[in-house]
Structure 1
Amino acid sequence: MDFKRQGILGGTFDPIHLGHIHIAYEAICKLNLEKIIFMPSGNPPHKTDKKITSGKERYAIIKEAIKNQPYFEVSDYEINKNGMSYTYETLEYLNGKYKNVKWYFITGADCLAYLDKWKNVQRILDNCTFVVFKRSGFSNKDIEKYKSYIEQTYNKEIIYLDIPLIEISSTDIRDRIKNNKEYNYLLPEGIGKYIIENKFY
């Protein structure tokens, strides 16, 4: 049976920026994926103490940012879901909804350091191929250490995407908007204007 190869790129995306787009395109090329689905988080359990822009607004910004990108989609599953957003539930939902798809869950390498604290790790790894990209502050040696530990503990392969880093911070973008500093060069084309016109920040 032939499986479609599709990626999931999750995050708060508050807002989505060129760093996210860069990661998505690199994953498509290096993993030979047909599509990337951006999955803005609803109520992530690890960010309960942080103020996050509403899911509806973050979803709208992503949708606008990728409207001319044929390889990208955005899902509102997590932002419409009641309660906390858990990765294992998202993956099981996607596997139930879409048949004959091999999912690649793409996240930062820093997640490997605390993946053991995620809920139902085995169910996550059973429902996708887990892919990590490099994060600042994590050396290749650090990543390999965490990668080996997870692979041995759960008997699953982890893919490491060694791609160039584009250091952009959503927090910095929000601060720039608030303080009337230039930020358009950090965002997909037209998104700065879209954010201001809709008074999202």
Structure 2
Amino acid sequence: MRIGVFGGTFDPPHIGHLIVAGDVHARLGLDRVLFVPSAVPPHKIARVRASADLRARMVRAAIGGDPRFEVDELELRREGPSYTVDTLRELRDRFRGAELFFLIGMDALRDFPTWRAPVEILRMAQLAVLARAGDEELPEVGSGMVLVPVTRIDLSATEIRRRIAAGESIRHLVSEPVREIIAREGLYR
């Protein structure tokens, strides 16, 4: 079994997340992509706006019934900061024998050496490095990493939150069920 692990704050989840996950699923021949919402991401502790529970609900709504995708709330059950190495240990134990691919953007890859236990992460999973057209080239992709060409979508959760706060439309930037949750809960105003 080949499993993609897509961690993030998903604050909120948007169509860019879904398109990238679909690209990686197809290009790596994955059986599924697990969306893993972070409870307390160590690098964004003060910046997460919606509660972990609401973000998980929005991710579930975003993926709908797509059989390629699942939501895994394992980080939401954990106390304290969410470290990738802990998540991969748990997934490796749960999916014995599966090949794990951890989705990571070029921006996050630059900081990867500073993450908790990067060598152990590379022993448990390949890094699926998301390569968008126009991104700077990596000088060398090391062992344990695979470059995955993905569709370039110039969209961020930050921009969506800004648009909501400014009273602008987010239609077509997030799925309709996610938009409904945001409106109903009064998020990001």
Q: TM-score, normalised on structure 2?
A: 0.92
User: Paired residue for 2:126, among 108, 129, 138?
Assistant: 129
For the 8 Å contact 2:132–2:151, the answer to whether it is kept is: no
Question: Once the 2 structures are TM-superposed, how far is the Cα of residue 192 of structure 1 from its aligned partner?
Answer: 1.0
Identity of aligned residues (%): 31
Query: For 2:45 and 2:53, how far apart are their aligned partners in 1?
Result: 18
Query: For 1:15 and 1:137, how far apart are their aligned partners in 2?
Result: 25
Query: For 2:147 and 2:7, how far apart are their aligned partners in 1?
Result: 16
Paired residue type of 1:158: M
- Residue range with higher mean Cα deviation, 190-199 or 157-166: 190-199
Greater helix share, structure number: 1
Paired residue type of 2:157: S
Output one character per residue of 1:35-61: Cα deviation in whole Å (capped at 9) or x when no partner.
Answer: 000011111111133243210010000
Question: Once the 2 structures are TM-superposed, how far is the Cα of residue 189 of structure 1 from its aligned partner?
Answer: 3.4
Paired residue type of 2:45: T
Paired residue type of 2:36: M
User: Paired residue for 1:59, among 56, 59, 67?
Assistant: 56
Partner of 2:158: 171
Paired residue type of 1:52: R
Partner of 1:113: 110
Runs of 4+ in 1 over 4 A off after TM superposition: none
Question: Once the 2 structures are TM-superposed, how far is the Cα of residue 136 of structure 1 from its aligned partner?
Answer: 8.3
Paired residue type of 2:148: L
Query: Matched residue of 2:172: which SS?
Result: helix
Matched, 1:188 2:175: yes
For the 8 Å contact 2:133–2:149, the answer to whether it is kept is: no
Question: Once the 2 structures are TM-superposed, how far is the Cα of residue 66 of structure 1 from its aligned partner?
Answer: 1.2
Output one character per residue of 1:86-112: Cα deviation in whole Å (capped at 9) or x when no partner.
Answer: 111100000111222111111101122
Query: For 2:70 and 2:48, how far apart are their aligned partners in 1?
Result: 25
Query: Matched residue of 2:100: which SS?
Result: strand
Correspondence list, 1:78-117, <5 A: 78-117=75-114
CA RMSD of aligned residues (A): 1.7
For the 8 Å contact 1:14–1:58, the answer to whether it is kept is: yes
For the 8 Å contact 2:19–2:151, the answer to whether it is kept is: no
Q: TM-score, normalised on structure 1?
A: 0.87
Unaligned runs of 5+ in 1: none
